Amino acid sequence: MIETSLKDIIPANYELLFSQSEIQNKIKELGQMICDDFKDANPILVGVLNGAALFLADLIRNINTDLEIDFIRISSYGDQKESTGHVKILKPLSADIVGRNVVIVEDIVDSGISIRFLEKMMLAFNPKKLKFATLLHKSIKTIEDVNLDYVGFDIEYKYVVGYCLDDKQFKRNLQDIYIIK
């Protein structure tokens, strides 16, 4: 039997951007910030599927206060590498967020269209507080006026993959984040 590793599925045109240890160190910092902001406030963290699944899982392991999680799934990309500008809800929020402290957790923010959509939608439910966390932010590409409360890394305008960020729905299982050259 031939053993394989994740390194075997990394194409030659992938260039390492952030290692697993760099990602985990940043998530630890973000978790502490959220914990400081919501100490004894029992926030609900809402992961935006599919990309934020791993980030949310690692993030909640670094928040030392009681919390709840939920998920929402939206799409503004389809199978494209660029946002279409139209956001569709594919899985609605399950939890009641009226009067709650809510943190929306995204994997990556580029144009800001999805964040603006989520902000308008969530505010309609009258949360006590609404904050946004993202692991990656392409600030140079952001066209919407968005307020991101917790940002892991500000990155240049490149297509990135790994750590649940996909390349046509594949490569989400890579532990590091890569730039596709």
**What is the CATH classification number for the domain harbouring 142?**
3.40.50.2020
Number of domains in the chain: 1
Residue 44: predicted pLDDT: 98
DSSP class per residue in 93-121: --S--TT-EEEEEEEEESSSHHHHHHHHH
Lookup result for tokens 């966390």: 133
Q: Could you tell me the residue range of the domain that residue 100 belongs to? A: 41-158
136 in a structural domain = yes
Encoding tokens for residue 114? Answer: 């999805």
Could you tell me what percent of the chain has a pLDDT over 90?
80
8 in a structural domain = no
Residue 169: predicted pLDDT: 87
- Contact between 76 and 86 under an 8 Å Cβ cutoff? The reply is yes
Residues labelled catalytic: 110
What digits encode the pLDDT tens for the residues 103-161? Answer: 999 999 999 999 999 999 999 999 999 999 999 999 998 888 899 999 999 999 999 99
Could you tell me what percent of the chain has a pLDDT over 70?
93
Q: Which amino acid is at 12?
A: A
Return the exposure string of 52-74: e unless at least 16 CB atoms fall within 10 Å of the residue's CB, then b.
bbbbbebbbebbeeebebbbbbb
Tell me which of 1 and 7 has the higher pLDDT.
7
Split at pLDDT 50, 70, 90, the class of 3 is: low
Residue 69 has pLDDT above 70, yes or no: yes
126 in a structural domain = yes
- Among candidates 97, 47, 32, 43, which has minimal Cα distance to 67? 43
Q: With 0.85 as the threshold, say if the pTM is over it.
A: yes
**DSSP letter at 144?**
S
Which residue(s) pair with 15 in the sheet? 179
| pLDDT (mean) for 6-17 | 89
24 in a structural domain = no
Encoding tokens for residue 41? Answer: 């406030």
172 in a structural domain = no
Residue 84 has pLDDT above 80, yes or no: no
129 in a structural domain = yes
